[in-house]
Amino acid sequence: MTALLALALGYLLGSVPWGLLLTRAAGLGDIRAIGSGNIGATNVLRTGHKGLAAATLALDLLKGVAALLLARWLWGETAGLVAGFGAMLGHAFPVWLGFKGGKGVATGGGVLLAAAWWLGLGAALVWLGTAIVTRISSAGAIAACAAAPVIAAVAGRWDLALFAAGVAALVIWRHRANIERLLAGTEPRIGRKT
């Protein structure tokens, strides 16, 4: 029962579509009508509004942090991890948007950061390094997700390695189209307006 409550709490927190809400409030219309059609920070950046993109990134990250920490406080460590994964599911498949949401990168980053600060920081550094070199957000996200379970395993935290592998699997699965474009050399670069 506790696991179901934690999953539901995480899902509800994760399902708040901050990118859509912020762009609508700014008078930019429906973010799903431009670029990738995604509700996340990378697509918000394509509007040319860096401040809105940064706010979307921060709020999507914070909903992952909030879900995990709140459930951990209420029900313990395992429930926190369940809620964190629930937040990612809520972001990727929000009931309010017909189960068509974001890819879970920022929310997943928040979840990893809340699970263990060093794990979140390690994944963020991999994302940053890859994004700087390639100027492709999805390449950074995929690299960071692949690195997270390895970082946890090297630290001897097999519980977190397994959890990070679940986070990585969801994020990478949500990036299927991006992977096809990366292989074809047609994936858009960071900051490109549409």
User: What are the structural domain ranges in the chain?
Assistant: 2-94+105-184
Give me the percent of the chain exceeding a pLDDT of 90. 87
Q: What's the pTM value of the predicted model, to 2 decimals?
A: 0.92
pLDDT (tens digit per residue) in 9-46: 999 999 999 999 999 999 998 999 988 888 999 889 88
Q: What sign results for the dihedral spanned by CA atoms 31, 36, 37, 38?
A: negative
- CB distance 102 to 19 below 8 Å: yes
Residue type, 179: I
pLDDT (tens digit per residue) in 143-166: 999 999 999 999 999 999 999 999
| Token pair listed for 99 | 């189960």
183-187's contacts with Cβ under 8 Å and 24+ in sequence apart are 187/136, 187/138, 187/139
Residue 128 has pLDDT above 90, yes or no: yes
- For the chain, give the secondary structure using H, E and C: CHHHHHHHHHHHHHCCCHHHHHHHHCCCCCHHHCCCCCCCHHHHHCCCCHHHHHHHHHHHHHHHHHHHHHHHHHHCHHHHHHHHHHHHHHHHCCHHHCCCCCCCHHHHHHHHHHHCHHHHHHHHHHHHHHHHHHCCHHHHHHHHHHHHHHHHHHCCCHHHHHHHHHHHHHHHHHCHHHHHHHHHCCCCCCCCCC
Residue 2 has pLDDT above 60, yes or no: yes
pLDDT of residue 194: 47
Residue 130 has pLDDT above 60, yes or no: yes
Cα(88)–Cα(11) distance, rounded to whole angstroms?
7
